[in-house]
Amino acid sequence: MNIVLLSGGSGKRLWPLSNDIRSKQFIKLFKAEDGKYESMVQRIFRGIRKVDAGATITIATSKTQISAIHNQLGDEIGISMEPCRRDTFPAIALATAYLHDIQGISEEEAVVVCPVDPYVEDDYFVMFKKLGEQAAKGEANLVLMGIEPTDPSEKYGYIIPRNKASISNVSTFKEKPDTKTAESYIEQGAIWNSGVFAYQLKYVLNKTNELLGTSDYAELFSRYETLPQISFDYAIVEKEPKIQVIRFAGQWKDLGTWNTLTEAMSEDCVGNARMDETCRNVHIINELGMPILAMGIHDAVISASPDGILVSNKERSGYIKPFVDQINQQNRFAEKSWGSFCVLDVGNGSMTVKVTINPGQHMNYHSHKLRDEVWTIVSGKGRTVVDGMEQEIGLGDVITMQAGCRHTIFAETELILIEIQLGKEIAVHDKQKYPFEF
């Protein structure tokens, strides 16, 4: 199978665990069979590999998410990087061109596109094969996966099939109607659009040529900022007369808010948290070291991270976005390809950061013009390179680097250090990278 996973957007509805660079799909809340916690994107990736170990998987994403993707899925995953955010039609057009021009996949082959954030089981991934096989037949230009609706929601597109067969031609597709219109569609037998669909590469390549003037990957990438900001459903699906739909009756949840996310959690508490016996329908997610105790609370979510603390009624949690928009602070936690960092304190001319480097990983060889840095090793072992001088390091070692000094660190085991940054201007853009053979 050829799979394109759509991993876009920033995270505000699941604040404080999600932020501008840590979207909801990277939050580790779901317990896997080995007892460890995994994220939505890890769960989707594992499910695809379970059904088809040899599937070609490409993630369409923004530059800010690439480090987290490599951290959670490894370096072998294909990535179609969007230079900026433009919505799903440009993202899918670019990813399709990437498959054809960079990965060398024939335009006759089928590709399945799906989001990375639904909560599903193994039968969902079996459906991918059915979608791909149906698209390969060429009976329709698009093959959609439909979900039986539970209410006239305004959040989804609506597919009206010509009949009730498991595979049917589509008479009408409408993207996100109002509630009254959605009710009339359901009366006509409409089903929800799951956001999962399949097509032959040549179909989207031709549509990209028609609507954007080219399907060449390099040209699309260079012009990406100028491409129309429009969804694939509005640009393509609503206008396409040759569509089929395959009905899916398995578990499918759109985990877009704290209320829906907690419904899919197998545990009431994640992290250092506990509640008394009078609590009802309460979930606590704690990424901080300090304990959280809840007593006598009903129908609530409590979430704590380095970015903040949320205490909310579950129903009200869906209205979080405008309040989070008013919070103006830098992100205090992020995953990198080599590990993660957490900002502990920000002072006048200083910043204190806890850095975790995964075994076998390393930072880039780099320097800063405007700040000094001091590393104190608190766990693990590895080595540093400072202006070309290599040194073995371990618990208790202190490494000092003045502004302009070139430096990096390599972890033999998991390596945890406290980094103190000192300078009048401490900014992310103050970083110069250099080539280095590790």
Q: Do residues 202 and 108 touch, judged by C-beta distance below 8 A? A: yes
Question: How far apart are the C-alpha atoms of 162 and 122, rounded to whole Å?
Answer: 28
Helix or strand holding residue 65 (H, E)? none
pLDDT in tens, the chain (438 residues): 999 999 976 667 899 998 777 888 899 988 888 888 999 999 999 999 999 999 999 999 998 899 999 999 988 899 999 999 889 999 999 999 999 999 999 999 999 999 998 889 889 999 999 999 999 999 999 999 999 888 898 888 899 999 989 999 998 888 888 899 999 989 888 999 999 999 999 999 999 999 999 999 999 999 999 999 999 999 999 899 999 999 998 888 888 889 989 998 989 999 999 999 999 999 999 999 899 999 999 999 999 999 999 999 999 998 998 999 898 877 889 899 999 999 999 999 999 999 999 999 999 999 999 999 999 999 999 999 999 999 999 999 999 999 999 999 999 999 999 999 999 889 889 999 999 887
Helices 40-51, 122-137: inter-axial angle, 10-degree rounding: 60
Cis geometry, peptide bond prior to residue 152 (ω within 30 degrees of 0): no
Per CATH, is 338-434 categorized as 3.40.630.10? no
Query: Any idea where the domains of the chain sit in the sequence?
Result: 2-254, 267-319, 338-434
Helix or strand holding residue 11 (H, E)? none
Q: What pLDDT is attached to residue 388?
A: 93
**Which residues face 372 on adjacent strands?**
422
* Contacts (Cβ under 8 Å, ≥6 apart) of 104: none
Q: How many CB atoms lie within 10 A of CB 406?
A: 17
The two most distant CA atoms of the chain are separated, in Å, by 73
**Which residues face 298 on adjacent strands?**
280
Q: Do residues 57 and 196 touch, judged by C-beta distance below 8 A? A: no
Nearest alpha carbon to residue 221 among 89, 98, 59, 103 = 98
Fold of the domain spanning 2-254: Spore Coat Polysaccharide Biosynthesis Protein SpsA; Chain A (3.90.550)
Q: What pLDDT is attached to residue 20?
A: 73
Strand 243-248 and strand 167-174: the pairing is antiparallel
**Which residues face 275 on adjacent strands?**
294
DSSP 260-298: HHHHH-S-SEESSEEE-TT-EEEEEEE-SSS-EEE-S-E
Q: What pLDDT is attached to residue 117?
A: 84
**Which residues face 153 on adjacent strands?**
none
For residue 235, give both structure tokens: 């640009």
Q: Name the DSSP letter for residue 15.
A: T
For residue 81, give both structure tokens: 């990087």
- Residue at token pair 């300090």: 290
